[in-house]
Amino acid sequence: MVSSEIEVVSSSTSNSQQNPNEPSAPVSIHDVFSASAYGDLEKLKQFVELDGVSLSIPDANGYFALQWASLNNFPHVVQYIIEHGGNVNATDNTQQTALHWTAVRGAIPAADVLLQNGARVEAADVNGYRAVHVAAQYGQTAFLNHIVVRYGAECDVPDSEGRSPLHWAAYKGYPDTVRLLLFRDASQERQDKDGCTPLHWAAIRGNVEAGTVLVHAGTKRELMVKDKAGFTPAQLASDKGHRHFALFLSNAQRVHRNFCADKIFGGKVNVGYAPILFSYIVILVIIFINSILVAPSLTKVTAMVGLWGWTAVSLAVGALIMFYRCSSKDPGYIRRPGDLGDHKDSEDPLLNIDLNNSPMWTGNWSQLCPTCKIIRPVRSKHCPTCKRCVEQFDHHCPWISNCVGKRNKRDFFVFVILAMLTSSIGAIVTVQRMWNGVPTGQTWIKFMVVHHPGAVVFLLFDTIPVIVAATLTITQASQICRNITTNELANRSRYDYLHGPDGRFRNPYNHGCQKNCSDFIVQGYADDEIAWPSLQ
């Protein structure tokens, strides 16, 4: 699919990239082309200044010395060639320029020299490939971003077959490049001459990660587009034998909806199951009071039983309050351009950021959110349900109809603790009341089912929150002690910052149980500062 000439050039010069752990092999520099390819400026000067060799003539294959120096990223050699007759826009037999060759290996310094000396950033070869297409084909994300930001390269231009850089990045399976192109508003709906969208091309190769980025950043419309053969991306993935990807796309078609309801304080969020859970708790409390605490047919309530019983009711009220708080509270949405009436910044968010020394940017392109158009902190994540990026994203909980993140995790944890205590105390009080309410000689279970069905119903339905709340309490407490989120644990293999130099799992944010817990209790969240020098 990619230009064969570029692939041949890339492989023919692979020996010039020596392994630093191996002794360098002697190379034969016999003309300006080999001198340029290996970056030997002194030999190049000898050929040009002493022997009078021209730098504007191609070799036997039609390639120029400038292309070889550009491919292997020797900016000083590139500058010398340009100053001594090299044409920055000279094309080989496939109409590729030196700038095309810099895109193969992401040679940014060499590209800068070319572009500053008049190279055409939109030069196209016989296939309609521009430098942006080549960069996307080889996953050179930083290079692609550089020529778009600094030199105004068009990142959504189609080639001769109607395929944009996004098509190529999706086909080759480069999720970071896909993310950058979407961040820069590349169209997911563009169809090539075969009617294929970028998602179709991801489906052809079964590139799950690239396809996932496309699905989460897109709408249901892209999932339903058919190519000229009548296939949707899901059908195409199934036809090519990529069953897991086909299943993912099929599920996305079913759940990629946006049922919204007005929030009490304004805005819109997915309704989820919060009304069901709220009603469930209220109904259980009513049954507990009527069938357990004030049931006239049971034995008289003692002072101790009454104390624990009404304690359970009080805790249930507290749980409902915390339920409302964690459901309605901002979980840590990261501010987007245009929020609160702000105007979108005219300056490119990636223009002046220091990729090597920034408190937010870590060199990880997954920090770009193509939907919110922001550079997000490392531990944040875009929630496809809420359509927002959430700081210290833990998980999206449909039962509270909200995400759990930096600003509401403490409320959520208190809620599950109160739910566990309420349901546990309620179960204990119910068992005690039922046990003492059975007359001598009667079968316990049969008597309660016949004479006190409300108590039996409560005990059965109270078992579910006991198990769920206890499980959540234990898991959340464990994560709080280690300062790690549910999302990070579930996806630790995907996050580079959770791996040490040896590739093994390490949590750089673990400051020890005592500090993690104290920060969480006082602030509501633990800090994102890296625990140097020891990683836990």
Active site residues: 397
- Per the CB < 8 A criterion, the answer to whether 131 and 123 are in contact is yes
Sign of CA dihedral 176, 182, 184, 189: positive
What one-letter code names the amino acid at 358?
S
Q: For 180-211, give the DSSP string.
A: HHHHTT--SS---TTS--HHHHHHHHT-HHHH
d(CA 53, CA 55): 7
Of the candidates 208, 192, 215, the one whose C-alpha atom is nearest the C-alpha of residue 128 is 192
115 token code pair: 């572009």
The 10 Å Cβ neighbour count of residue 459 is 20
CA-to-CA dists, residue 222 to 198, 214, 253, angstroms: 9, 9, 10
Distance CA 431, CA 455 (A): 9
- % helix / strand / coil in the chain, to the nearest 5? 50, 5, 45
Dihedrals φ, ψ of 181, to 5°?
Answer: -65, -40
Q: Is 164 helix (H, G, I), strand (E, B) or coil?
A: coil
- Strands, E, within 295-357: which ranges? none
Which residues are CB-neighbours of 219 under 8 A, at least 6 positions away? 256
Cβ count near 341 (within 10 Å) = 5
Query: Which residues have CB under 8 Å from 316's CB, separation 6+?
Result: 281, 284, 285, 418, 422, 426
